[in-house]
Amino acid sequence: MVRAFGSQWPSRNGTYHRFSNTQDPWGRRSNKPPIWQSRRFWYVTGTVGVGGTVYYQAHIEESPTGRRRFINISRETEVSMGAQSYRQVLAQYGKLIVPSGTPVDRYVQRIAQRVIAATGMDADWEVHVIESPERNAFVLPGGKIFVFSGILHVTESEDGLATVLAHEIAHQYARHTAEQMSRQMLVTLALVVASLFVDPSVLDLGRATGKLLLDLPNSRDCESEADRLGLMFMAAACYDPRQAVGFWERMRAEEKVAPPQFLSTHPSSGSRIDNIRQWLPEAMDKRNTASCPDPLLTDSFFSRLGNSKVSGWA
């Protein structure tokens, strides 16, 4: 019978024994003490620990909303990785990307450029519409935005689409991709160090626990931050931030089965709606400061006509 590698082996006489401090997995005797009993090990571990703490503290910064976070990836590296992902996405969805200059492309481009201008960001922005029933949108580092046409039926209006686009642009503005990659590097390093002290099988539980306690809450923090920043960006672009509530209510209605929030990378739609309602006074102040016209006056016949055409597309 072939046995998997592990920390427990039978002895030659069939009697079960655990490893002793002086016996390796193959039953050979060794006079060397375990590595963690040597002074050199603790000198190295202490040096790495102190150096790691200093390195961590040196890369702590504040997010646009004042949240403290760790980022050790440069903007240049972030953009380079985004360019690679951009080529992969184009290769995957190339045949489904709506041609430039079509009505739906111009519609999405116009709203995106208006929100981008309100952020004051300087990037090589590209906006693509993917013909797909999927209700989704995402942004890649470097300003590459992809909108699936299926979400246009949920947005229903320019304000609704501005909610989606402003949220994605906010991810780019706040460098959330770099933040999440940096956190993953920390978790990986911690698991490597932990493997020196514990059975590797225990690390599987550590990965699951780390995802539940660190990765998922951090992802939800980034999503909530993008919601808040996006609300301010769409308001500064003279879209009506109050319409964000309606969009997320429609998204909640579209959800067939939503996982519990603590198991999701995104806040629940209900939590998002509650948060947005709390931020609306600030967003409306932002809109008023931008000297925007009354939303009722901008909801013109031509705007409604344009939205109905888009809603009937795809």
Active site members: 168
Q: Can you spell out the DSSP letters for 273-312?
A: HHHHHHHHHHHHHHHHHTTPPPHHHHS-HHHHHHHHHHHT
Q: Give the DSSP H/E element, type plus range, for residue 145.
A: strand 144-148
Q: Give the CA angle between residues 257, 263, 267 to the nearest 5°.
A: 75
- Reading the block at residue 142, the tokens are 């470097």
97 in Cβ contact with 90 (< 8 Å): yes
Token pair for 121: 């960001």
Q: How far is CA 136 from the centre of its chain?
A: 14
Residue 31 Ramachandran class (φ > 0 left, ψ -120 to 50 alpha, else beta) = alpha
> Is the CB of residue 139 less than 8 Å from the CB of residue 109?
no
Classified as helix, coil or strand, 8 is coil
Q: Which residues pair with 147 in a beta bridge?
A: 129, 137
Query: What is the phi/psi pair of residue 87, to 5°?
Result: -65, -35
CA distance linking residue 97 with residue 94, whole number of Å: 6
